[in-house]
Amino acid sequence: MQENLSSHYDHTATEKTSQQHWERTEAFKAVEDATKPKYYCLSMFPYPSGKLHMGHVRNYTIGDVLTRFHKMRGFNVMQPMGWDAFGLPAENAAIANKVPPAKWTFDNIDYMKGQLKSLGFAIDWSRELATCTPEYYKWNQWLFLRMLEKGIAYPKTQVVNWDPVDMTVLANEQVIDGRGWRTGAVVEKREIPGYYLAITQYAEELLGDLDTLENWPERVRLMQANWIGKSTGVRFAFPHDIKDESGALIGDGKLWVFTTRADTIMGVTFCAVAAEHPLATHAAQNNPELAAFIAKCKSGSVMEADMATMEKEGLRTGLFVTHPLTGEQVEVWVGNYVLMSYGDGAVMAVPAHDERDFGFAKKYDLPIKQVIAVGDKSFSTDAWQEWYGSKEGQTINSGKYDGLGYAAAVDAIADDLVAKNIGEKKTQWRLRDWGISRQRYWGCPIPIIHCADCGSVPVPDDQLPVVLPTDCVPDGSGNPLNKLSSFLDCACPKCGKPARRETDTMDTFVDSSWYYARFATPGNDKAMADERADYWMPVDQYIGGIEHAILHLLYSRFWTKVMGDLGLVKYREPFKRLLTQGMVLNHLFSRRSDKTGIEWFAPEEIDLIKDEAGRVTGATAKRDGNPVDYGGYGTMSKSKRNGVDPNAMIEQYGADTSRFFMMFTAPPEQTLEWSDAGIEGSYRFLKRVWAFGNVFANEVRSKLPAQRELATAKLPDNLATLRREIHLNLKQANYDLGKQQFNTVASSCMKMLNALEKAPRDSSLAAEVIEECFGILLRVLSPITPHITHVLWADLGYGDDILQATWPEPLEAALVQDEIELVLQVLGKTRGSIKVPAGADNKAIEAIALASEVAVKFMEGKPAKKVIVVPGRLVNIVC
Ligand code: ANZ
Ligand code: ZN
């Protein structure tokens, strides 16, 4: 026990002491231990972009609170950290600063690791990994080769963005308004070979297993389900006799389409095909206008989100196909809203019942034929009505199918198409296979060797890893590996002749698809995952941003299932529970000018104008006093200059204050609005905790009896009330921790401190109650603010290490109330209240009520006819 607790709260010293203690005792080193329940807590690892932003701080604080809470609850806890270290920003930095991406990346890692350490996170640094190291990415390559053997990885041509000036492939984010980000040249679409992973083979399992992820946010599961996009419908063909130049029937004389609304088949008035469809290509051969339209469609965006909102356009092909059930001739159009990558790249158009077809038919004056009726609602071609697309109605104008509901009509029509051998029911998936080839330098090399004689040959396992040279400095003109003979030139593993190495690297989503499993298998260079992964996996709690709701989580789930099928791991889902934290927001200030466009101001460059209620109504710039536009709260971002630097905050207020503010201000899933006042308030709270530590050291500790008596003593009212209040708050805090509502845990701590500050300190019993209650506060607070609680716990003599302390549970004895208060009514009118012993039965309560002063006064001497007791609430005397 140290006697000299400093009188003022020195966050820098406190944090240094605690962090040194954790380092010295290897407090967060995780060791497999079958005798304890394990808890693997993982926050999404950062990209080493340069420095942490507040979103990181929030993410990792949430993970740390959960980690520390579970550790104190007796779990064997692991919280690792690493670096998602490949990717484009390192190449861009290389171009700008002429340093190799490797150096930039490792410098950033050093710096950011220091920042993480200064926040006091309970991380097992012995498991640290960076995905750009050969020890790690060797296993990307190894698993890729296993996938290749199983047919899960396969080569296929892919469409890429081609910058004709730099002669290089651009990532989607390097294409700005259709032009290359560096050269400004109009980007072309090119077809080049690449490797794909057959995630679609797992579509059914990826969808079905979403049901087992009960502890994932509902909206994330929904987003995944929509992305996988299972739809059941009918695939059938319109026969035709359109032939190519060689006289062969195009597509064997069948135009295939996929529809979820086969019940509307008698309402088809035209067909529409995608710009890339063979019929479109054929029709364009002697139709320059159509050829130009197709070229325009191909160069445009293929984002599905854009498809929904863009202007629908099309052109006639002059070709006709035959309706399979009516035998009528149906005209074929090319439509920009038809995707080549979905279904068969063609649709049967039913303008009466499909909104896109409706818009298209109106625009080009094509027939609209109603074939579904809903009640007696009247159909008009003037404007689209929501009910036109309903599945609730019955077929009309459909010949022999008239009068059927949705399911019956689909069945009858599918049966007839099957009988004609021209269609069948089919399940269609929106999910596409995952193209992983990137024409970039700073990524994991794809382990393939190209030989003139043998073709594409996999690199043998004993030649792994294919090491990426780390001293290249890209200059923007394409992948430098293509000019590096020391990398390129190699011998063919099959025939031994000179051959060329593949220079494409893997999508960085590959790196993040299995890092969580590697954290459990550190240092093993013989296996991708070992029995330690069986112990730690799956991750019990995963925490990260909602922006990763779809791709990262889906790829990780897929990767896990592939590893499972290869017998490498025993689990089918990597993340048991998922928390998606909200964004960190701050005020936005800007000024528009004709010369420079929009100019953003950092909050510290601004004076706020507030109304009487303290609401911000406007702002002026400090530099010139002129008004700037106040844009409310927006996500912190570099470009809008409303970020707050974690370092500055840690220096001024300390890590504990930052952590407390993050937890206290909003529930973890919600957005968090930055506020200087909130930071100040958090700091003040911690100073009060420290001050109370001084009260304890100076006024309370000396009064503690050698033999503690609290367990058996009868407490006076004021002490019983204090103790009850602390235990009630503890009960609430434990409940909220279970629900991951850390903001209310923080407020329970504040309530505990309020109560403690008012506590009597005049007796040995009071000292004992304070000792117990402050000990509870310190432990409940410790996952959120671990430094201050570590020092107070040790220096006030509670124990050596608060991390080793047991988590407090509320005591029943402290929660019971000796007396409870009941409302007293006479003839149904509330007249006052009475106090009764907590365990009193109705008879005893009646007696106390009738004898009370209030009852005697308002009964006016009349005898009681009846006394009604509502337990715990009131007594009503009828007289
Ligand atoms: C006719 C029809 C009538 C349709 C109707 C809908 C309503 P989901 O549910 O997302 O699977 N479709 C099919 N292939 C397409 C493609 N390559 N590009 C654009 N649209 C395509 O969507 C299936 C529906 O999307 C299909 O059902 C088809 O339009 C369209 F009253 O067929 B429907
Ligand atoms: Zn060869």
Asked if residues 878 and 827 have their Cβ atoms less than 8 Å apart, the reply is: yes
What is the rounded end-to-end Cα distance, in angstroms, of the chain?
66
What is the 350 CA–ligand 1 centroid distance (Å)? Answer: 10
Nearest atom, ligand 1, residue 388 CA: 31
Give the type of residue at 827: L
In this structure, the residue with its CA closest to atom 29 of ligand 1 is 259
Report the range of poorest mean pLDDT among 18-32, 251-265, 286-300, 770-784: 286-300
From the number of C-beta atoms within 10 Å of its C-beta (0-12, 13-18, 19+), residue 693 rates as: buried
pLDDT of 522 over the 80 cut: yes
Question: Does 2 score more than 60 pLDDT?
Answer: no
Question: Do the beta carbons of residue 360 and residue 272 sit within 8 Å?
Answer: yes
Residue 307 has what pLDDT? 59
- Those residues whose C-beta lies under 8 Å from the C-beta of residue 739, and which sit 6 or more positions away, are none
Nearest to 788 by CA among 797, 779, 860: 779
Q: How many Å apart are CA 444 and CA 447, to the nearest integer?
A: 9
pTM: 0.87
**Average pLDDT score over residue span 705-709:** 93
CATH class of 672-815: mainly alpha
Q: How far apart, in Å, are the Cα atoms of 509 and each of 84, 440, 559?
A: 9, 14, 11
Atom 2 (ligand 1) nearest CA: 261
pLDDT of residue 469: 97
Question: Among all ligands shown, which has an atom nearest to the Cα of 499?
Answer: 2
- Burial per residue of 721-736, b for 16 or more beta-carbon CB atoms within 10 angstroms, e otherwise: ebbbbbbbbbbbbbeb
Q: Are strands 584-593 and 672-673 parallel, antiparallel or unpaired?
A: parallel
Query: Given ligand 1 and candidates 227, 259, 265, 432, which is best to mutate, with the most ligand atoms within 8 Å of its CB?
Result: 259
Ligand 1 lined by 259 (C-beta under 6 Å): yes
CATH number of the structural domain 37-131+515-581: 3.40.50.620
466-477 average pLDDT score? 92
* Residue 169 pLDDT greater than 70, yes or no: yes
* Residues 802, 791 contacting (CB under 8 angstroms): no
Contacts of 408 (CB under 8 A, 6+ apart): none
As a whole number of angstroms, the distance between CA 69 and CA 780 comes to 8
Ligand 2 centroid to residue 491 C-alpha, Å: 8
**Average pLDDT for the chain:** 94
Contacts of 288 (CB under 8 A, 6+ apart): none
**Ligand with smallest separation from the Cα of 270:** 1
* CATH number 3.10.20.590 is the correct assignment for the domain at 819-878: yes
Question: For residues 183 and 195, what is the distance between their CA atoms, to the nearest angstrom?
Answer: 28
354 lines ligand 1 (CB under 6 A): yes
Query: Does the structure show a pLDDT above 80 at 554?
Result: yes
For the segment 450-475, the average pLDDT, to the nearest whole number, is 96
Task: Check residue 448 and give its pLDDT.
Answer: 98
State the fold for domain 230-428. Isoleucyl-tRNA Synthetase; domain 2 (3.90.740)
Of 445, 441, 511, 453, the C-alpha closest to 478 is 441
CA 153 to chain CA centroid, nearest Å: 27
Query: What is the pLDDT, as a whole number, of residue 91?
Result: 92
Closest residue by Cα to atom 26, ligand 1, is 259
Radius of gyration in angstroms for the set of CA atoms belonging to the chain, rounded to a whole number: 35
Is 494 known to sit in a ligand binding site?
Answer: no
Delimit the domains of the chain by residue range: 37-131+515-581, 144-198+434-508, 230-428, 584-635, 672-815, 819-878
Looking from the CA of 749 toward its CB, the CA atoms found within 13 Å total: 27
- What is the distance in A from the centroid of ligand 1 to the CA of 260? 6
Euclidean distance between CA atoms 537 and 41, whole angstroms: 10
Letter for the amino acid at 191? E
SS3 at position 689: helix
Query: In this predicted model, what pLDDT tens digit does every residue of 386-413 receive, in sequence order?
Result: 999 999 999 999 999 999 999 999 999 9
- Smallest Cα–Cα separation from 257: which of 366, 349, 356, 335? 349
pLDDT by residue (tens digit) across 320-334?
999 999 999 999 999
- Which phi and psi angles does 345 have, rounded to 5°? 70, 20
CA distance 453 to 494: 9
pLDDT of residue 762: 92
- Percent of the chain predicted with pLDDT > 90: 83
1 confidence band (pLDDT: 50, 70, 90): very low
Beta-bridge mates of residue 868? 876
Q: Which ligand is nearest to the CA of 454?
A: 2
pLDDT at residue number 253: 97
**Whole-number pLDDT of residue 309:** 67
Specify the residue with its C-alpha closest to ligand 1, atom 5: 354
Residue nearest to atom 32 of ligand 1 (CA): 259
Considering Cα of 762, then 767, then 769, then 773, what sign does the dihedral take? Answer: positive
The finding on whether 428 has its CB within 6 A of some atom of ligand 1 is yes
As to burial, measured by CB atoms within 10 angstroms (0-12 exposed, 13-18 middle, 19+ buried), residue 704 is middle
Say how many Å lie between the CA of residue 259 and the centre of ligand 1: 5
Q: Is 351 in the pocket of ligand 1 (CB under 6 A)?
A: no
Q: Is the CB of 343 under 6 A from ligand 1?
A: yes
Ligand nearest the Cα of residue 494 is 2
> Are 438 and 478 a contacting pair, CB within 8 Å?
no
How high is the pLDDT of residue 335? 95
CA–centroid distance, residue 467 to ligand 2 (Å): 21
At 373, the amino acid letter reads A
Q: Is 348 in the pocket of ligand 1 (CB under 6 A)?
A: yes
172-225 pLDDT tens trace: 777 887 888 888 888 888 889 999 999 999 999 999 999 999 999 999 999 999
Q: From ligand 2's centre to the CA of 495, what distance in Å?
A: 4
CA distance 272 to 270: 7
The helix/strand/coil state of 349 is: strand
Question: What is the CATH T-level fold of the domain 584-635, as seen in this structure?
Answer: Rubrerythrin, domain 2 (2.20.28)
Helices 655-665 and 646-653 sit at what angle, rounded to 10 degrees? 110
pLDDT tops 90 at residue 877: yes
Q: What is the DSSP string of 616-665?
A: EEEEEETTT--EEEEEEEEE--TTTT----HHHHHHHH-HHHHHHHHHHH
Q: For a substitution probing ligand 1, which of 207, 302, 312, 354 has the most ligand atoms within 8 Å of its CB?
A: 354
Q: Which pLDDT score is estimated for 161?
A: 86
Give the atom of ligand 1 at the shortest distance from the alpha carbon of 260.
27
Q: Tell me if residue 170 falls in helix, strand or coil.
A: strand
For the 144-198+434-508 domain, the top CATH level (class) is mainly beta
pLDDT in tens, 810-868: 999 899 877 788 999 999 999 999 988 888 889 989 999 998 999 999 999 899 999 99
